[in-house]
């Protein structure tokens, strides 16, 4: 398996523009997670899906952020409009399942480094 795939790897955009980040989880994984990593705030969970359904989006910063998972092999994280403070590395991760009320190993993608000018 190729692992979790994210695109683009790097994105530079101007303030006010729409940004769409893409993720393909590992085949067969039921859970998909979106994280944001910055020096100031560390690794933050934004939202996660189970079987394509959003379960917890309490980490989404504000209404400018939205995430979708139209099918088991694809998810998007959209920022509209983007702002300079959104600059960060965005990781997608997937896991096989949650068993016995615990979280299974998460496999991270390579990340998308977003810079908003």
Among candidate residues 23, 19, 47, the one with its CA nearest the CA of residue 110 = 23
Asked if 108 interacts with other proteins (CB under 8 A), we say: yes
Is 15 or 43 the residue whose CB approaches other proteins more closely?
Answer: 43
By C-alpha distance, which of 110, 103, 27 is closest to 71? 27
* Closest approach of other proteins to the CB of residue 81, in Å: 27
Q: Which is nearer to other proteins, 74 or 107 (CB)?
A: 107
Q: How many CB atoms lie under 10 A from the CB of residue 50?
A: 15
Please name which of 76, 81, 41, 47 lies closest in space to residue 63, comparing C-alpha atoms. Answer: 81
* Euclidean distance between CA atoms 93 and 103, whole angstroms: 12
Q: Give the contact letters, 25-64, x = binds to other proteins (CB under 8 A), - = no.
A: ----------x------xx-x-------------------
Q: Interface with other proteins by CB under 8 A: which range of 18-26, 65-73, 80-88, 95-103?
A: 95-103
């Amino acid at each position: 398996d190729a692992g979790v795939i994210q695109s683009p790897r790097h994105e530079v955009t101007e303030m006010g523009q729409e940004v769409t980040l893409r993720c393909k989880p590992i085949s067969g994984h039921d859970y998909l997670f979106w994280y944001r990593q910055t020096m100031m705030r560390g690794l933050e969970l934004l939202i996660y899906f189970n079987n394509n359904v959003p379960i917890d989006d309490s980490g989404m910063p504000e209404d400018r952020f939205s995430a979708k998972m139209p099918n088991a092999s694809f998810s998007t994280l959209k920022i509209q409009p983007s702002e300079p403070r959104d600059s960060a590395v965005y990781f997608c991760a997937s896991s096989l399942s949650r068993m016995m009320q615990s979280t299974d190993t998460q496999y991270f993608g390579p990340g998308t480094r977003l810079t908003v000018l």
